[in-house]
Amino acid sequence: MFAAVSDLRRTERTRTMMRVLREPLGAFGIALVLLMVGGAVFADLLTSYDPSRISPRDRFQAPSLDHLLGTDHLGRDLFSRVLHGGRIALSVALFATATSLAIGVVLGLVAGYGPRWLDAVMLLLFDSIKSFPTVMLALALVTLFGPSLTAVVIVVILVNVPGYARIIRTQTLALKGSEFVTAAQSMGAGTTRILRHHIMPNVISPLLILASMDIPVVIAIEAGMSFLGLGVRPPTPSWGSILNDGFTAIRDTPWIAVAGGLPIILTTLGFTFLGETMRDLFDPRLKRRT
């Protein structure tokens, strides 16, 4: 029985992947995502240069076979720094988005299914956090914790959780009075069981699609904070710090800015195309009209 269920789930995942691959934008998005993830995972195999190794004699070298993206003002290989910076960007994006999603789902379920006074209090909390500008919130947290990856992750979580929680809350309120929920209550099912087995499976799918489209936003936040000196500290490679290095010498060495900006653009396109394709395929209410 369990083998049959496992085979059915595997078949469903394969069918889902094939549906995405049949869409041109979906296939292009998957290709870009795999390209960026593969570059980050296999960075040590794709380049032999240490991303933090300083070589003043090689500073400001143009792109060549030895240095595919050139070198920066300290002679560091930009291709190596971009690949290793991808590890930072993707790790922060995936961890912060997953954490935000988990917290948002729990808070949204509690707000939507709980008593009205609790719903009002949590809505006030969500709106209060959401009202803070991201930059001001980042500056406040950096003042408390100092520039670090921890500050970046906390900023992302605080920015994303209210949005996820409000979506889950709205869908929970819509399902709260459904017949299958009423039937479960009449059979003696507890609140935890109802939320876990009856409501959450029906509200989580659209949020997963939204989360995949939020990953490039998180990457942009991490890059922006690192660009301003509020995120990853040197000499740790980051796309934002590479952009900052390129900005100071953009007139004479434009390839540094290109090396920092190109991976952000490709990652944004990849996750956006993939997320939009999944949305069109699996959420008929949002499907494009052709």
Whether 127 is in a domain gets the answer yes
Structure-block tokens of residue 127: 């709106």
User: Residue 58 has what pLDDT?
Assistant: 85
CATH number at residue 251: 1.10.3720.10
Q: Tell me, what amino acid is at 186?
A: S
Examine the pLDDT at 202 and tell me if it is beyond 80. no
Q: Give 123's pLDDT tier (boundaries 50, 70, 90).
A: confident
* Cα–Cα distance for residue pair 168/165, rounded to 1 Å: 5
Supply the DSSP symbol for 199. I
User: Residue 252 has what pLDDT?
Assistant: 80
CA angle 32, 37, 41 (to 5 degrees): 150
Whether 11 is in a domain gets the answer no
Whether 103 is in a domain gets the answer yes
Whether 147 is in a domain gets the answer yes
| Domain interval for residue 132 | 51-286
Which tens digits make up the pLDDT trace of 14-30? 666 676 677 777 788 88
Whether 8 is in a domain gets the answer no
Which tens digits make up the pLDDT trace of 90-119? 888 889 999 999 999 888 888 888 788 888
Mean residue pLDDT across the chain: 81
Which tens digits make up the pLDDT trace of 139-159? 787 777 777 788 888 888 888
Whether 30 is in a domain gets the answer no
Determine phi and psi for 125, rounding to 5 degrees.
-65, -45
- Best CA proximity match to 107, nearest among 59, 160, 56, 148: 160
Reduce the DSSP state of residue 77 to 3 states and report it.
strand
How many domains, in total, are found in the chain?
Answer: 1
Q: What is the 3-state secondary structure of 135-169?
A: HHHHHHHHHHHCCCHHHHHHHHHHHHHHHHHHHHH
- Look at 243 and 249; give whichever has higher pLDDT: 243
User: Residue 282 has what pLDDT?
Assistant: 66
* Cα–Cα distance for residue pair 151/158, rounded to 1 Å: 11
Whether 256 is in a domain gets the answer yes
User: Residue 275 has what pLDDT?
Assistant: 79
- Best CA proximity match to 49, nearest among 69, 21, 73, 33: 69
Owner of token pair 């998005």: 29
Whether 4 is in a domain gets the answer no
> In Å, how far from its chain's centre is CA 155?
13
**What's this model's pTM, rounded to 2 decimal places?**
0.81
